[in-house]
Chain A
């Protein structure tokens, strides 16, 4: 843990940031993609670029959400207040990534898209991750937490398999796995390792 002299002022500063500001800031990457698309800066293949950028942004938020507990435990930095915002933003970008695939990439060829989803493991993993995240998004509100009690925590354990499938989906679609791909896998495994190790402590 970093010393309290460092974490305390950080936490004090963080307490002043309302969570709506996190939601707003979370839309900046989307605004950036829209800006690049409108100005032509997205490149000569906007379809793939939009689809891949949205997927990558979703991965940032998914991994970011998983980093919140370890950040508190090991660095003493408390971001718990923003976890819902990070999680919902992750779901939002996963959904946009899926819409970009169906509408822009597949051109709404529903039959081919559906056949691909079943036949191609990396697509199946991706859509499964999305489906697993739906109950998490739906129950990300105070009413659900009150109503579900202990079960709320159990449901939200689904985030681990969902992100695992998402990371595999990301690596599997590459022709040759890039060093960036291995890096994301490494970060995910490291986050999982410290999390499940700390359960035994």
Chain B
């Protein structure tokens, strides 16, 4: 890969990022299998060129946008973000991407739009996990429009100074750093603007365990485990656990989005 020249960002954490090996060999990407090592093993067969994203719904300029056209006017930034999985482990990842709001502004979001829905590629011949049952493919996710427009929310096309590895959601994925990782949908092929809260895959599968909002919250436990602490992957065998921060430490940027909301109810 040609190395990517990305601008630094004021939103980056100064925490030490995980290694490229850690980030690319420990993935939940069920499209390639259940095990965290499956994506690294099987995602190589995914063809990501050509790639386009269909943008539809309540937008002024709907259409199928080739990835090159989407990327042409954007300035790529490096965003070193904390990444907290709902399974209570975490990493620090130096993503490369651009703000989702810039794309949404280009296609013209209509005032009636309240939510953004996302969809992952469905291509079972290259994504063997999609041949298995258990999940209703394709994977879908969604954000409220103000969450989507927040400057922390990015579409990422790379990490470290490389193009996005397939197992991490090539060629383009969402990153919402104050939410559990499953909100950050991978390999996006469709973005729809809508006035209704869109269905989301994990919420449909286990509504008691995975909410639509899925904000990182140490006070609201997953029914099967505590969310008060997390294990930092790569910290070492006897490193123990660290405390989980409200909104994964991004409260200054996003807490106002949820003012007055009961976050135990809207988990």
Contact = CB atoms under 8 A, between A and B. Distances in A.
B229 interface: yes
B225 interface: yes
A121 B208 CA distance: 15
Given A44-B22, A116-B226, A120-B225, A176 B237 contact: no
Contacts of A45: 26, 36, 89, 231, 233
Contacts of A172: 224
Contacts of B238: 103-104, 107
A150 interface: no
B224 A44 contact: no
Contacts of A175: 87, 206
Interface string A161-199: 000000000001111111100000000000000000000
Given A43-B25, A179-B132, A107 B241 contact: yes
A44 B231 contact: no
B201 to A, nearest CB: 11
Interface string A46-79: 1110100000000000000000000000000000
Contacts of B233: 44-45
B225 A116 contact: yes
Given A104-B238, A107-B239, A177-B134, A44 B26 contact: yes
A109 B30 contact: no
Contact of B231 (A47, A108, A115): A47
B205 interface: yes
Contact of B234 (A44, A109, A120, A177): A44
What is the interface of chain B mostly: helix, strand, loop, or mixed?
Answer: loop
Contacts of A10: none
Interface string A138-180: 0000000000000000000000000000000000111111110
Contacts of A19: none
B106 to A, nearest CB: 36
Contact of B229 (A46, A112, A173): A112
A2 B205 CA distance: 45
A94 B2 CA distance: 49
Interface in B1-44: 19, 21-22, 25-26, 30, 34, 36-37
B254 interface: no
A37 interface: yes
Interface string A71-112: 000000000000000000000000000000001111111001
Interface size class of A (residues with CB under 8 A): 20 to 34
Interface range for B: 20 to 34
Interface string B221-243: 10111101101011001111100
Contact of B241 (A37, A50, A109): A109
Contacts of A104: 237-238
A122 B209 CA distance: 14
Contacts of A105: 231
Contacts of A108: 240
Q: Which of B206, B221, B239, B241 has the most CB of A within 10 A?
A: B241
Nearest to A178: B34
B149 interface: no
Contact of A120 (B37, B224, B228): B224
Contacts of B229: 107, 109, 112
A112 B244 CA distance: 13
A122 B132 CA distance: 25
Contacts of B132: 179
Contact of A109 (B36, B224, B240): B240
B67 interface: no
A175 B226 CA distance: 15
Contact of A107 (B22, B225, B240): B240
A121 B224 CA distance: 7
B245 interface: no
14 contacts: A43-B26, A43-B36, A44-B26, A44-B233, A107-B231, A107-B241, A109-B240, A109-B241, A116-B225, A119-B221, A174-B34, A176-B205, A177-B134, A179-B132
Given A44-B25, A104-B238, 4 more contacts: A43-B26, A47-B237, A48-B89, A104-B237
Interface of B: 19, 21-22, 25-26, 30, 34, 36-37, 87, 89, 132, 134-135, 205-206, 221, 223-226, 228-229, 231, 233-234, 237-241
